[in-house]
């Protein structure tokens, strides 16, 4: 499976963990998890849902006849998807992973969106891994910036500066989250965040 497919599966399982959803609502909520620049088409979503159903991680059910009588939507709009017990176990397994795949650019935001369902130890490992990766990236970018300083025009230099500042902001943000995590939950590594904690809200910006 491609990395994008794995990310989509994690996001779908996470969203269905709270409540059953039909395809249209699920696609809309995925935008809050994956971001506007990674919009999911129905051509990608429905094969993903089919695969999850086949593996027994989600179930599907058809809406009542009153919904069908409206004639406003096709069959797909009437299918509701719900997480199964096996699906919940799979979601927890995926959320417990703390390796590089959980803090790379393509995957970190999705893991972070569901931090409320991860243990404090897992959250810390992912946050620290993400920060270390960005600090490595900063060191390389600064070195390259010094080497290119005399060979680049003002616009290229400005673009590099913007990239450095954006990464530095994320490192500071991560450091604040790590400190908060250690202070609030260091003595209880299995304590989940409160569902209204800003650090666990789906779609939060890292500004």
Tell me: the pLDDT tens digits for 174-207? Answer: 999 999 999 976 555 444 444 334 344 333 444 4
Q: Is the pLDDT of residue 60 over 70?
A: yes
- The pLDDT value recorded for residue 161 is 87
Q: Which two tokens stand for residue 52?
A: 């999850």
Q: Is the pLDDT of residue 69 over 60?
A: no
- What does the mean pLDDT of the chain come to? 82
- The pLDDT value recorded for residue 197 is 44
Average pLDDT over residues 82-101: 95
- The pLDDT value recorded for residue 2 is 80
pTM over 0.75: yes
CATH class of 3-95: mainly alpha
Q: Which two tokens stand for residue 86?
A: 């096996």
Distances (CA, A) of 135 to 87, 91, 105, 156: 35, 29, 14, 22
Q: Where are the domains of the chain?
A: 3-95, 105-200
Q: Which two tokens stand for residue 132?
A: 């270390």
């Amino acid at each position: 499976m491609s990395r994008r497919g794995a990310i989509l599966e994690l996001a779908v399982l996470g969203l269905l963990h709270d409540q059953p959803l039909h395809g249209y609502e699920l696609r809309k909520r995925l935008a809050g998890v994956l971001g506007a620049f990674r919009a999911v088409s129905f051509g990608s979503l429905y094969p993903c849902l089919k695969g999850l159903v086949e593996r027994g991680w989600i179930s599907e059910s058809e809406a009542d006849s009153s919904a069908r009588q409206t004639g406003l939507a096709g069959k797909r709009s009437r299918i509701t998807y719900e997480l199964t017990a096996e699906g919940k176990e799979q979601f927890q397994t995926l959320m417990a992973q703390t390796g590089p795949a959980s803090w790379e650019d393509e995957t970190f935001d999705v893991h972070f969106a569901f931090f409320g369902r991860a243990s404090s130890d897992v959250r810390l490992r992912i946050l620290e891994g993400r920060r270390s990766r960005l600090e490595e990236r900063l060191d390389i970018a600064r070195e390259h910036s010094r080497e290119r300083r005399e060979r680049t025009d003002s616009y290229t230099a400005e673009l590099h500066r913007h990239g450095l500042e954006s990464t530095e902001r994320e490192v500071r943000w991560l450091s604040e989250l790590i400190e908060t995590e250690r202070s609030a939950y260091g003595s209880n590594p299995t304590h989940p965040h409160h569902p209204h904690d800003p650090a666990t809200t789906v779609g939060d910006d890292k500004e």
